[in-house]
A and B are shown apart, each in its own frame.
Chain A
């Protein structure tokens, strides 16, 4: 072949393929640095998801009662900020709800804190939930022992299985003193511990008696819609009838509880800060290792520029590396955090990692790695091809 000016050029696709191949080779060649970068991404994924998963778990714990009732609509006191701050309201709300068009059923729900005397001394706090049988719309669920029908017995309750030791080695038929009254266990649930004392379930009248709720009072009213009636339609109909109460669909009530936790408590800020801190540490590790890798390979980048590679070509190398580090690191990090979630899962705490969190992590980590590589990119742009002759 005789020499002469070369008139052909690589297409954009070819350049992308060639530079991607170089990116991968550089990653594999510089293993120690690549492992360092990967550790940064894994660490950020792990920390951010551990915090986010715990936060999601706490939110779920606080909304699980609403999520697990079979009610379409909740009627709650007018000024109620969140579930745990239940206050009495007039039972007339229940009666007016029962005669509202579109209502299939409406039942009262008692809810409040109680003190359990533990044999051998001391007390344990728990949250009593009183539900009307036979529907049992307000629980219990996650039953590990016993039958819900046994709640008809006077003084019968379902307790949290994970708290049995704390309750003094409680078994089926064990008797305890709760708010000064003798009660006994007829069943156990698992994992029903909100961000506070564990739930204990009783028949409505038993609970009302334990909580000292008057006959003409209730804490909440649960409402089921007739077939063909949406929760929103039912809510609107009830709102028209009950101007002195808050009427919310179950989903709205869940959102209200979440919003309260996020805005009125320090939980959101605390977990948000930890998550951001994890991302920040990951960002710094990735940025520094990628920058350091560029410094180590400065001569190679200079050579590539000298022989005709453009800044865009070199940007492709860094971009591909960022994305690969993000994907592989996130995959590893998520696998690890899933194993950790399995390992630490208990009745008190469960890391909740919904599918959107997995997808979101990929997106966030990719963005984090790309932005972290910008430092390296700036350095690469400044590389003078003339350096290869020095």
Chain B
């Protein structure tokens, strides 16, 4: 086990169903992400990328294999410890934003901050800072239904960053957005992640945002096909 790794997944398999109806979505995947890395997981529909993301997010248990997050063995932790593990380590950004409809933008973020042990007062301050960071300070009291798709996704990003969990997992964050909004959202996520030192895994098939990744990992038919480092990374690394 390597403590410098954010994600260390080895020989991960996932089979749904049993017998003749069994379907293997992941067929022995090795997936490793360094701390602070911004990785995009790409591949066609049904390739297994969302299944892998669900396993990395500790919301789905693999059929076999090992998984460590920041040096901690997730499989050995057991089902009952998973909610705590998610709360401590992972911020989620979902395809459909998944904000609580009855709560305002700021309350959606405060909810997570308070669950993560912040006081009520501190939560309000930090939530406001996060909303400012995503450019929505003036819309703090709006419900999700009163915000545009892009604005909702910004709130979702702010919620994912609440209390600075080390790992951010994003599932198709640009899927419901137009091209310019999708790019702007991913740029925002990239910038905030870099500033704060988050490790990010983004599942996407939107090739217009590929250049923002440090590394792109392709998955097809339940198997990792290979990874590549993007120009963006090379440019950034070349900077003093």
- Measured CB to CB, the residues of A under 8 A from B are 1-10, 14-15, 18, 22, 25-26, 28-30, 299-300, 302-310, 384-386, 388-390
A324 to chain B, nearest CB (A): 14
Closest partner residue, chain A, to B163 (CB atom): A6
B180 to chain A, nearest CB (A): 26
Residue of B83, B100, B107, B164 touching A303 (CB-CB under 8 A): B100
Are the C-beta atoms of B117 and A6 separated by less than 8 Å? yes
Are the C-beta atoms of A6 and B88 separated by less than 8 Å? yes
Are the C-beta atoms of A5 and B70 separated by less than 8 Å? yes
Are the C-beta atoms of B102 and A8 separated by less than 8 Å? no
**Chain B neighbourhood of A302, CB < 8 A:** 98
What would 7 more interface pairs be, CB under 8 Å, given A6-B164, A390-B50?
A1-B164, A2-B196, A3-B164, A9-B87, A22-B111, A389-B54, A389-B59
A88 to chain B, nearest CB (A): 73
Are the C-beta atoms of A4 and B87 separated by less than 8 Å? no
> Is B94 among interface residues, defined by CB-CB distance under 8 A?
yes
The answer to whether A2 and B83 touch (CB under 8 A), given A303-B94, A389-B59, is no
**Complex-state Cα separation, A385 to B53, whole angstroms:** 13
**Complex-state Cα separation, A1 to B86, whole angstroms:** 19
- Find the residue from B57, B96, B102, B166 having the highest chain A CB count within 10 A: B102
**Complex-state Cα separation, A372 to B48, whole angstroms:** 40
Closest partner residue, chain A, to B82 (CB atom): A385
Question: Would you give 21 A-B contacts (Cβ < 8 Å), ordered by A?
Answer: A1-B196, A3-B165, A4-B164, A5-B89, A6-B88, A6-B117, A6-B164, A7-B88, A8-B116, A9-B84, A10-B115, A25-B103, A25-B107, A304-B100, A306-B92, A307-B92, A308-B87, A310-B83, A389-B53, A389-B95, A390-B50
A299 to chain B, nearest CB (A): 6
> Is B152 among interface residues, defined by CB-CB distance under 8 A?
no
**Chain B neighbourhood of A309, CB < 8 A:** 83, 115
The answer to whether A385 and B50 touch (CB under 8 A), given A1-B196, A5-B89, A300-B101, is no
A230 to chain B, nearest CB (A): 59
**Complex-state Cα separation, A223 to B100, whole angstroms:** 72
The answer to whether A2 and B102 touch (CB under 8 A), given A308-B87, A385-B59, is no
Residue of A18, A28, A299, A385 touching B102 (CB-CB under 8 A): A28
- Measured CB to CB, the residues of B under 8 A from A are 50, 53-54, 57, 59-60, 70, 83-84, 86-89, 92, 94-96, 98, 100-103, 107, 111-112, 114-118, 159, 163-166, 171, 196-199
Are the C-beta atoms of B117 and A25 separated by less than 8 Å? no
Residue of A8, A22, A300, A389 touching B57 (CB-CB under 8 A): A389
**Complex-state Cα separation, A20 to B186, whole angstroms:** 34
**Complex-state Cα separation, A388 to B53, whole angstroms:** 11
**Complex-state Cα separation, A299 to B144, whole angstroms:** 14
A-B pairs, 3 with minimum CB distance: A8-B117, A308-B87, A29-B102
**Complex-state Cα separation, A340 to B145, whole angstroms:** 42
Are the C-beta atoms of A10 and B114 separated by less than 8 Å? yes
**Chain A neighbourhood of B92, CB < 8 A:** 306-307, 388
**Chain A neighbourhood of B107, CB < 8 A:** 25
Are the C-beta atoms of B102 and A3 separated by less than 8 Å? no
Are the C-beta atoms of B165 and A6 separated by less than 8 Å? yes
**Chain A neighbourhood of B115, CB < 8 A:** 9-10, 15, 18, 307-309
A159 to chain B, nearest CB (A): 63
**Chain A neighbourhood of B112, CB < 8 A:** 307-308
Are the C-beta atoms of A5 and B100 separated by less than 8 Å? no
**Chain A neighbourhood of B87, CB < 8 A:** 6, 9, 307-308
**Chain B neighbourhood of A389, CB < 8 A:** 50, 53-54, 57, 59-60, 94-95, 171
The answer to whether A3 and B103 touch (CB under 8 A), given A9-B87, A14-B114, A309-B83, is no
